[in-house]
Each structure stands twice: as C-alpha cells, then as structure tokens.
Structure 1
C-alpha cells in the first residue's frame, strides 16, 4: 500500500473509532443505539410521519425502518397507527417516554459534526460531500443503505461493529 492509501485508511479508522465511542456513550446513557436515537429525533417535531418518510430521510431500507419501529414501539418510545385510507401505510409519533429519553440523550457525534459542518463555506461542504460519496462508491455497490455500507467498512478496517446513520 502506498502512503496516501494508508493515510486515508487511518483517517477512516479515526472516524469509525469516534463514532464507536459515541455509540457506546449513547447506549450507556440511554440504552439507545445511534440509529434508534436518530429515528426518535426525526419524530421530535410533534408531527406524525410515515415509516417511508423516516426511511428516506435516514437513508435506510424499509426493512430496517420496520425493525427500528418494532423495537422502539416495544420499548414504548414511539406509537404507530395504520393509515385510515391505506392500511399499508404506518404513521409514527413520538411518545412521552420517547421525548423523555431524548431530553437526557447526550449530544452525539452527529450533532457535533453538523454544528461544525454548517460553519464551513459552501465549496468546502460540497468538496466533503463529493469526496465521501466517492469513497462510499469505492467501497461497495450503490444499492446498499448506509447501515449496510457501514458494516462493510468496519469489516474492511477490522473494527468492531457499530452503525453509521444518514441525516
């Protein structure tokens, strides 16, 4: 491997380690994974949303959204109801228990990243987006969701498993 490849792999390992440390702290404080926290945050505006909208915004598959919904409903963090006109549609809302856990959740790596990212100039943001999308393309097929891609990166970099979420 050449020096540039080693440098980029080292930077990727650092990102993964920071995200993994954040994941452990979040689980310790709230019992939630980063995916579950982001899912709850998507519902924190007081409006019902469909499972499909959540899946699209998080960049995950419908199957992953269904699994998250079932888990969070079982924990009492979300409520769901079937659509009145289309019974296949699932509407989700944050429960009081869900709002309470969000209130104690520590600011995670996503929040810190967002706060710093929006301070960058537009061209810097565009450059980072393009670079990371290119890295993602280099690592695997385009049809993988963010969660599946993260698992592949972790395996390639020989790090323990954790999940990376989309916006």
Structure 2
C-alpha cells in the first residue's frame, strides 16, 4: 500500500472512530458529545453563564446558546436570573442531568487528551505539526472547529429542525 493510502486509511479510522463513539453516546445517553461536554462543565463548576460555559468548552456563545436551549427543552438544565446582577442569567443542571451523567460514557476526546498529555513534548509537537499540515492539504485550514470530537454540526439537532 502506498504511504498516501496508509494516511487516508488512518484518517478514515479517525473519522470512523469519532462517528461510532458519537452514535454510542447518542444511543446510551441520548446526548451529543457537545451536549455532554456542556453538562460535564456545568457539573464541575456552578454559577456559570452561557458565555462562561462557551469559553470553558471553546465553542462560540451562539453555538452554546443553541445547545443549552435544546438541553433546557429536554429537561437537563434550567436558567435562573442572578440575584446580585439581574442582567446575568446562569445555567444549572437538573436532577435528570445529574442522573444522565452518572451513566454517560466519557467523550472520546477525554481518552485522547489523557494519552496525548502522556507523550513527550517533542511527540506532541510532531503530531500537531503533522495534523495542521494534513488540514492544510485538505484545504481545511479555514474551517472553524472546536476541540470536540464529534461528527457534523455541533448544534446539528437544531440545524436539522430549521432545514
């Protein structure tokens, strides 16, 4: 097999692993990876606004707002206006969210991050440089992306409804 074929197979494996994990997440918890990431962030730290959640998960505020809207409709979160500053609206988990998080599988990027951090600095730099080069070769350097391993639009459930 030519090297370029080996690279394409490796890329396909990454895409497939992401897709399979996304489907497993959806089947077992009913949530997408970005939804689960937001719930986990809210579990780790309370009293967060949508903007603060967006910064913590490295997603745009608009995307997080859409995801939180969906989570709220599903009964996973609720919003509450601040008492000290009425302009701020905080997002909180419901009991349903806490129960879901107990059994939910870990996002795929959690395993990756742990293993990546175990590598030497030079190995991390080599992987990063190689992947950035591959993204460029695929003309993907201008595509906005978040550090969430998931297939499709991060707010795809809403996007599908609006089509």
Normalising by the smaller structure, the TM-score range is 0.7 to 0.9
Mean CA deviation greater in 132-141 or 120-129: 132-141
Equivalents in 1 of 2:136, 2:76: separation in Å?
35
By how many angstroms is 1:35 displaced? 1.2
Q: How many equivalent residue pairs?
A: 151
Which residue does 1:26 correspond to in 2? 25
Which residue does 2:125 correspond to in 1? 126
Secondary structure, aligned partner of 1:19:
helix
Equivalents in 1 of 2:21, 2:7: separation in Å?
21
The answer to whether structure 1 residue 146 and structure 2 residue 146 are counterparts is yes
Equivalents in 1 of 2:66, 2:131: separation in Å?
27
Which residue does 2:62 correspond to in 1? 63
Q: What does 1:32-111 align with in structure 2 at a 5 Å threshold?
A: 32-83=31-82, 85=85, 87=87, 89-111=88-110
Is the CA contact (8 Å cut-off) linking 2:37 and 2:107 kept in structure 1? no
Mean CA deviation greater in 77-86 or 94-103: 77-86
Q: Normalising by the residue count of structure 1, what TM-score does the alignment of the two structures yield?
A: 0.74
By how many angstroms is 1:137 displaced? 4.6
Q: CA RMSD in A?
A: 2.8
By how many angstroms is 1:140 displaced? 2.9
Q: Normalising by the residue count of structure 2, what TM-score does the alignment of the two structures yield?
A: 0.76
Equivalents in 2 of 1:99, 1:28: separation in Å?
18
- Which consecutive residues of structure 1, in runs of 5 or more, have no partner in the other structure? 152-160
Equivalents in 2 of 1:19, 1:29: separation in Å?
15
By how many angstroms is 1:47 displaced? 1.7
User: Runs ≥4 in structure 1, deviation > 4 angstroms?
Assistant: none
Equivalents in 2 of 1:144, 1:93: separation in Å?
28
